[in-house]
C-alpha cells in the first residue's frame, strides 16, 4: 500500500513537453512519486487537499478514528464544509452540523467553512485549488475542482477515513478521453447543455477514464463554466474531469487573492498526449438540452419536452446556482412573472455569490418576478433541505442528477436543464425553450 510519495506541496513539478502524457497522468505521477504512470496501473497517491463535507465527513469519520484510536494525518490539508444539512431543519441536522463544528475545533482545522456555501464551489471561489494538485473529496462531485487543472477524486466516507488517517489513496491510472469544444454558443446555450448532450452520447459507464475538456470554446469559458463540465464528469461515471491550466486559471486564483504556484502553466497535457478517444463538439450547433426522469443520460433537445407542465423550478446546487447562472435566470425573468401555480426556488451556491447578486441587482430581479430565495447549501438537490418534492410532483432543475427519489418522493419527476431553460420554464409554467425568451 505504501508507495514513497512526494512531500507536502506540489513543488516536484510537471515538465511540459512531448512525452505523450495527459494532464491526468502527469498529476498522478507527481502525486505517486513516480516519473511516469501508464493507464491500467494502480498506484498510491498522496492527497494535497482533502475535502470533507458534513454529509460524509466528520459524522462518519470521527467514530472510525475513535475506533482506531488515531488522529488525522495532516489537519492542514483538510478543507471542511458544512453545506449539505444547512441551515438545520430539525434536531437531527442541527446535531450533524454541531458535530462538524466540534470536529473542526478538536482537530484544529483552520479551513472550516460553516454555512458559507457549497464545498465544491468554495474550493474554486476561495482559490484553494492549484494546478497540478491531487485532491480527494468525500462526495461524488469532487471532480468539480478539475476546472482548476487539478485531479480531483470523489470517494465514499469510509475511504475518506483512510485518506484522513494515512494521507494516501489507491488510484487506478485512467485512460483519458479528450472532448474538444469549438465554436461560440448560440444565445441561451451554456456549458450545462454540453454536459446533458455528453451524458447521452458518451453514456454513464466511464469508470477508469478521465475526461479532459479543451478547445476554443472551453478556452473562452470562465472557471465557473469549466466547473460545470468537470462536475458532471461524475454523471459520465468518470474517475474525474479536468481542464488544462491557462491564463484564465491563473487569473481566477489571483482574483481570489491566491498566488498561483510557480509552474502553474506547465500543468497541461503533452502536445502528443495519447488519448483513448477524442471527441469534437461544435457548440455553435448545440441546442438547449433537457434530461427527462430518471437519468441525466435520458436527454434530448428541449423542444422534445416543451409543453410538459411543471410544479416547481429549482435553481441550486454546486452545478447550477453560481453568479453567472443567476445572471442567466435574471436575463429571462426581467419584466416577466413566474407562472401562476408554479414555484421558482433559487438557492445561490455561496454567501459571496448571494452578496454579489444582491449588490448587482440580480436578486431584486428574481424576487420581483416571484422567485423564492433559499439559503446557500445542497438543499433540495439531495432531498435534504427546503424545496423537497412531494408525490408525483414535476420539477425542472438546474442540478446535476435526477435519479428516482433524488429530490424527494420516489414518484416525483425531475427534469434537468440549464439555468436559462429552468427560468424559461418557470415563466411558461411548462418546460420551455429559453431561446424564445431571449430574442
Partner 1 sequence: MSPVAPLAGRAWLFGDDIDTDVMAPGLYFKAPLEEMARHCLEAVDPAFAASVRPGDIIVAGRRFGVGSAREQAAMVLVQLGVGAVLAQSFGRIFYRNALNFGLPALFFPAAGEILAGQQLEVEPVAGLVRNLDTGREYRVNGIPAHLMDMVAAGGLVPFLRQRLSRPPAEQA
Looking at residue 222, the DSSP 8-state letter turns out to be -
Total residues binding partner 1 (CB under 8 A): 48
DSSP state of 388: -
Interface stretch with partner 1, choices 98-106, 113-121, 182-190, 235-243 (CB under 8 A): 235-243
Between the alpha carbon of residue 260 and those of residues 129, 170, 218, 249, the distances in Å are 9, 27, 20, 9
Stretch that binds partner 1, among 116-124, 177-185, 200-208, 212-220 (CB under 8 A): 200-208
For 363, the grid coordinates are 436578486
Among 13, 19, 33, 64, binds partner 1 (CB under 8 A): 64
Query: Helices then strands (H, E): number in the chain?
Result: 14, 18
Instruction: Give 328-365 as a 3 state SS string.
Output: HHHHHHCCCCCCCCCEEEECCCEHHHHHHHHHCCHHHH
Residue 383 binds to partner 1 (criterion: CB under 8 A): yes
Q: Of the two residues 70 and 251, which places its CB atom closer to partner 1 in the complex?
A: 70
**Whole-angstrom distance, CA of residue 173 vs CA of residue 420:** 37
Say how many Å lie between the first and final Cα of the chain, rounded.
Answer: 59
Phi, psi of 206 (to 5 degrees): -110, 35
Measure the CA–CA gap between 177 and 228, rounded to whole angstroms.
Answer: 17
- Of 11, 38, 70, 255, which one interacts with partner 1 (CB under 8 A)? 70
Q: Interacting stretch for partner 1, rule CB under 8 A, among 73-81, 219-227, 346-354, 380-388?
A: 380-388
Residue 2 engages partner 1 in binding (rule: CB under 8 A): yes
Site for partner 1, residues 12 to 41, rule: CB under 8 A:
none
Q: Rule CB under 8 A: is residue 55 a binding residue for partner 1?
A: yes
The nearer residue to partner 1, 140 or 249, going by C-beta atoms, is 140
If one asks whether residue 405 binds partner 1 (CB under 8 A), the answer comes out as: yes
* 200 is a contact residue toward partner 1 (CB under 8 A): no
Contact flag: residue 58 with partner 1 (CB under 8 A): no
Q: Is 146 in the site for partner 1 (CB under 8 A)?
A: no
The minimum distance between CB 207 and partner 1, in angstroms, equals 4
- Of 209 and 268, CB closest to partner 1: 209
Interacting residues with partner 1 between 276 and 305 (CB under 8 A): 295
Residue 67 in the binding site for partner 1 (CB under 8 A): yes
Min dist CB 246 to partner 1, Å, is 28
Q: List the Cα angle 305/308/312 in 5-degree steps.
A: 115
Contact window for partner 1 (CB under 8 A) among 162-170, 224-232, 331-339, 418-426:
162-170
For residue 13, how many other CB atoms are within 10 A of its CB? 14
| Residue 2, C-beta contacts closer than 8 angstroms, at least 6 positions apart | 44, 168
CB of 323 to partner 1, least distance (A): 26
- How far is it between the farthest Cα atoms of the chain? 63
- CB closer to partner 1 out of 65 and 190: 65
Instruction: Give which of 22, 17, 35, 279 is closest to 175, Cα–Cα.
Output: 22
Number of alpha carbons in the 13 Å side-chain half-sphere of residue 18? 2
For residue 262, what are the CA distances in angstroms to 11, 130, 135, 216, 265? 8, 10, 19, 25, 8
Using the rule CB under 8 A, is 247 a contact of partner 1? no
Q: Which is nearer to partner 1, 52 or 194 (CB)?
A: 52
* Candidate residues 408, 417, 419, 434; the one interacting with partner 1 per rule CB under 8 A: 408
Instruction: List the x/- string, 76-115, binding to partner 1 by CB under 8 A.
Output: --------------x-xx--x-------------------
Find out whether 155 and 136 touch, Cβ atoms under 8 Å. yes
| Residues lying near partner 1 in the complex (CB under 8 A) | 1-2, 42, 55-56, 60, 64, 67-68, 70, 90, 92-93, 96, 138-140, 154-159, 161-162, 165-166, 170, 204-205, 207-208, 234, 237-239, 295, 382-384, 388, 401, 403-406, 408, 410
Amino acid at each position: 500500500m505504501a508507495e514513497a510519495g512526494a512531500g507536502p506541496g506540489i513543488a516536484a513539478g510537471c515538465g511540459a513537453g512531448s512525452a505523450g502524457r495527459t494532464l491526468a497522468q502527469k498529476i498522478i505521477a507527481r502525486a505517486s512519486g513516480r516519473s511516469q504512470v501508464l493507464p491500467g496501473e494502480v498506484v498510491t497517491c498522496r492527497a494535497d487537499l482533502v475535502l470533507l463535507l458534513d454529509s460524509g465527513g466528520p459524522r462518519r469519520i470521527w467514530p472510525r478514528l475513535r475506533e482506531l484510536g488515531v488522529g488525522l494525518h495532516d489537519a492542514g490539508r483538510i478543507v471542511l464544509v458544512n453545506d449539505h444539512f444547512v441551515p438545520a431543519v430539525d434536531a437531527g441536522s442541527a446535531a450533524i452540523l454541531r458535530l462538524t463544528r466540534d470536529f473542526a475545533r478538536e482537530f484544529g482545522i483552520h479551513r472550516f467553512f460553516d454555512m458559507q456555501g457549497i464545498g465544491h464551489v468554495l474550493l474554486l471561489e476561495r482559490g484553494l485549488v492549484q494546478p497540478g494538485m491531487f485532491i480527494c473529496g468525500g462526495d461524488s462531485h469532487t471532480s468539480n475542482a478539475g476546472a482548476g487543472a487539478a485531479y480531483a477524486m470523489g470517494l465514499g466516507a469510509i475511504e475518506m477515513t483512510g485518506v484522513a488517517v494515512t494521507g494516501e489513496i489507491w488510484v487506478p491510472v485512467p485512460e483519458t478521453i479528450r472532448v474538444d469544444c469549438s465554436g461560440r454558443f448560440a444565445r441561451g446555450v451554456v456549458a450545462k447543455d454540453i454536459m446533458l448532450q455528453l451524458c447521452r452520447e458518451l453514456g454513464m459507464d466511464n469508470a477508469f477514464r478521465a475526461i479532459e475538456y479543451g478547445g476554443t470554446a472551453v478556452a473562452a469559458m470562465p472557471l465557473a463554466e469549466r466547473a460545470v463540465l468537470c462536475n458532471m464528469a461524475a454523471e459520465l461515471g468518470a474517475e474525474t474531469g479536468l481542464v488544462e491550466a491557462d491564463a484564465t486559471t491563473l487569473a481566477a486564483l489571483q482574483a481570489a487573492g491566491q498566488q498561483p504556484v510557480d509552474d502553474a502553466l506547465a500543468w497541461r497535457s503533452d502536445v502528443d498526449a495519447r488519448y483513448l478517444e477524442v471527441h469534437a463538439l461544435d457548440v455553435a450547433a448545440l441546442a438547449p438540452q433537457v434530461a427527462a426522469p430518471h437519468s441525466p443520460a435520458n436527454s434530448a433537445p428541449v423542444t422534445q419536452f416543451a409543453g410538459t407542465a411543471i410544479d416547481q423550478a429549482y435553481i441550486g446546487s454546486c452545478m447550477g446556482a453560481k453568479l453567472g447562472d443567476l445572471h442567466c435566470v435574471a436575463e429571462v425573468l426581467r419584466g416577466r412573472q413566474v407562472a401562476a401555480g408554479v414555484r421558482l426556488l433559487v438557492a445561490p451556491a455561496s454567501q459571496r455569490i448571494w452578496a454579489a447578486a444582491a449588490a448587482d441587482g440580480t436578486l431584486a430581479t428574481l424576487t420581483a418576478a416571484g422567485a423564492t430565495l433559499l439559503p446557500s447549501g445542497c438543499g433540495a438537490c439531495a432531498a435534504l433541505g427546503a424545496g423537497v418534492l412531494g408525490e408525483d410532483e414535476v420539477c425542472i432543475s438546474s442540478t446535476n442528477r435526477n435519479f428516482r427519489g433524488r429530490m424527494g418522493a420516489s414518484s416525483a419527476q425531475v427534469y434537468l436543464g440549464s439555468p436559462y431553460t429552468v427560468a424559461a420554464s418557470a415563466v411558461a409554467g411548462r418546460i420551455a425553450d429559453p431561446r424564445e425568451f431571449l430574442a
